[in-house]
Structure 1
């Protein structure tokens, strides 16, 4: 079944994006080219223009992104042209979409450098253009210019400190460099802005688990602190979303890690400032809960039960393998 063009294009698989892009000629023919009435005065346009629906322009943007993924630059250009006709060629978002097309069409580093210069030129006259800032940062990352990308993100957050997307991007860049402490800080800023985002709680738990596992071989106080915080984040994630597979998967992994590593850690002194690792019995109960819930999710998804089909296939496979590993170790 072909997905809707109203769904975020970034969530589509390659197969789904291809299916949508193949429909581009028919979709473009069926949609209005702009909200303007040809040959009419401004007053007539205001009085007699058809009722405009936001879904039309969302459709154009999502179709554009799907076409770029499959190399249909002609259809993508038609989409951005219709957006330009409607919103003007100096609109922040339209400028960013035009830049995205140029990025996709660039065949070498020289072409990408030209696009980067065009972004710099736009920002030189309009430093508050957030979409262009973000396209510039994404381009820098794709070109391997990580320090410049970090500088760009920090500059963006300087004047837009409530941009959760930028904080999340900064966390991702730090994580790629193994800077776990900085990545944790950036994700905590995301949670300040979106405290009930269960996926962000789980992501923070994953980063803190990685920090625990790599901190002095997992045997020092820093490892203990990160593991405790990771456990807390995964518990909060599944508290906010009862059937969140990634949350239960992370809870299973971190509880196993704590049960294996607890004997190597120094004795805890709970000052009240940090979350302490719970008693072993509590950790064991949490591990059992995670195992039971993962088993239920995998079983019901595999049986294709109603309302259990929304999981990512790769995550189901990973959960099944995790459960199989535990079963194998018990048998041995």
Structure 2
């Protein structure tokens, strides 16, 4: 995950570069380091360096890293001729490189030549079964073809080896949610929370899944994770606050007669409504009427 400091750094650099203020190479390095998707900007600024022989030669060995970065960005932007040219340069410099072969397979994938790309990826995995990028590309290719069951199979097998890959767990969770397989998605988010307990995004997503599953126990647990999201974000997550409202309303209907819990829910409900109204008045005053209507529907206003 990108930290607030890194977000600010990339934002400032991006503004500086876009306005011709220099720092292009520093920007491209930071994008690569943080694994950000800034494909159009990488393509534009990267080509500017590659097309300038003096600037390119000043990079030293990093020149080849830039060719690879621009090739991937070009494929993202469907500038396949540019990607092909970059890969040709790399192939000439590194004729036996498996890394370059991987780029060639990615180019086949970008062209929609699924069978050829799959054969190329399979060949690479025969030589190195632990190539994480290739495993992920195969999963992405399955998704692109709409074959979600194959994507699940690939990612599940991948996670048997690379259990600490948070990105893969999140990807698997999102696929399960898209297929309305909420119990499986919940398991993925549980793994993510266990390994990275301070990331509010995972708490929020887990709460959403549990609330969708329904039932008193799930909704009670969802309420706890909406609350932990609020705690981790310093009370600034509106979606989590509204989630508390949804949960307390549902629990009120499902657990009638439990006086202690009714009282706790009522207090939490009131605090959540006040917090929501305050946030909307400050940030979206033109939508307060919609908020009030939603709260009335929940019988919270």
Aligned residue number for residue 74 of structure 1? 81
Check if 1:251 corresponds to 2:258: no
Give me the whole-angstrom Cα distance separating, in 1, the residues matched to 2:227 and 2:209: 15
Aligned length: 266
How high is the TM-score relative to the length of structure 2?
0.72
Change (3 A) 1:61 1:168: farther
Gaps of 5+ in 2: 1-14, 20-26
Q: Quick check: 1:174–1:183 contact (8 Å CA) kept in 2?
A: yes
From 280, 283, 291, the equivalent of 1:326 is 291
Aligned residue number for residue 56 of structure 2? 32
Q: Quick check: 1:231–1:251 contact (8 Å CA) kept in 2?
A: no
Aligned residue number for residue 157 of structure 1? 159
Check if 1:117 corresponds to 2:125: no
Give me the whole-angstrom Cα distance separating, in 1, the residues matched to 2:68 and 2:276: 40
Structure 2 counterparts to residues 311-322 of structure 1, below 5 A: 321=287
Check if 1:147 corresponds to 2:149: yes
Check if 1:239 corresponds to 2:227: no
Aligned residue number for residue 272 of structure 2? 286
Shift of 1:185: 0.7
Give me the whole-angstrom Cα distance separating, in 1, the residues matched to 2:108 and 2:158: 22
Higher helix share: 2
Q: Quick check: 2:87–2:103 contact (8 Å CA) kept in 1?
A: yes
How high is the TM-score relative to the length of structure 1?
0.66
Structure 2 counterparts to residues 78-117 of structure 1, below 5 A: 78-80=85-87, 85=93, 89-91=97-99, 94-106=100-112, 111-117=113-119
Gaps of 5+ in 1: 36-49, 213-222, 270-274, 300-319
Structure 2 counterparts to residues 147-226 of structure 1, below 5 A: 147-212=149-214, 223-226=215-218
Q: Quick check: 1:95–1:132 contact (8 Å CA) kept in 2?
A: no
Give me the whole-angstrom Cα distance separating, in 2, the residues matched to 1:33 and 1:268: 76
Shift of 1:112: 1.0
Report the 3-state secondary structure (helix = DSSP H, G, I; strand = E; otherwise coil) of the residue aligned with 2:75.
helix
Shift of 1:24: 4.6
Change (3 A) 1:24 1:77: farther
Give me the CA root mean square deviation: 3.6
Q: Could you say which structure has the greater relative contact order, defined with CA pairs below 8 angstroms and 6 or more residues apart? A: 1
Change (3 A) 1:330 1:168: closer
Give me the whole-angstrom Cα distance separating, in 1, the residues matched to 2:155 and 2:262: 33
Q: Quick check: 2:241–2:275 contact (8 Å CA) kept in 1?
A: no
Q: Quick check: 1:20–1:66 contact (8 Å CA) kept in 2?
A: yes
